[in-house]
Amino acid sequence: MSIAAERLERLHDLASAAAADGDDERARYYVQLARRVAERNRLSLPKQFRRFTCDNCDRYLRPGSNARVRLQDGHVVITCDCGAHARYPYEG
Ligand SMILES: [Zn+2]
């Protein structure tokens, strides 16, 4: 794994931990940092990162806390507190 990819994993852990602490601002900082690292290294964000970050406001999403999750027509729909929706195919 490249250094950048390892860094992204680390940032994901940090964002997740900050969100678990209820610290949205710190989580958002790590999310934004990870987006920059990915961009600079022409990597895409790891899947779990993409799914649990809001494209609109960069929050790290925690279902039940700052995001709602619904299943709809075989898709997972995540709604962020800012009102943005994200849809993903449901992978059982
Ligand atoms: Zn949002």
State residue 53 phi and psi, 5-degree precision: -125, 145
**Residue 69, domain extent:** 3-89
The H or E element containing residue 33 is helix 24-40
Measured at the CA of 48, the angle between CA 38 and CA 16, to 5 degrees, comes to 90
DSSP secondary structure code for residue 23 in this structure: -
- What confidence tier does 92 reach under pLDDT thresholds 50, 70, 90? low
Question: What is the distance in A from the centroid of ligand 1 to the CA of 1?
Answer: 30
Among 3, 58, 53, 52, smallest CA distance to 25 is for 58
Spacing, Cα 43 to ligand 1 middle (Å): 22
Q: What is the pLDDT of residue 56?
A: 95
Domains of the chain: total: 1
pLDDT in tens, 16-72: 999 999 999 999 999 999 999 999 999 999 888 888 999 999 999 999 889 999 999
The answer to whether the annotation marks 76 as part of a ligand binding site is no
CA proximity to 51, closest of 23, 26, 80? 80
Q: Which residues keep their CB under 5 angstroms from ion ligand 1?
A: 54, 56-57, 59, 80, 82, 84
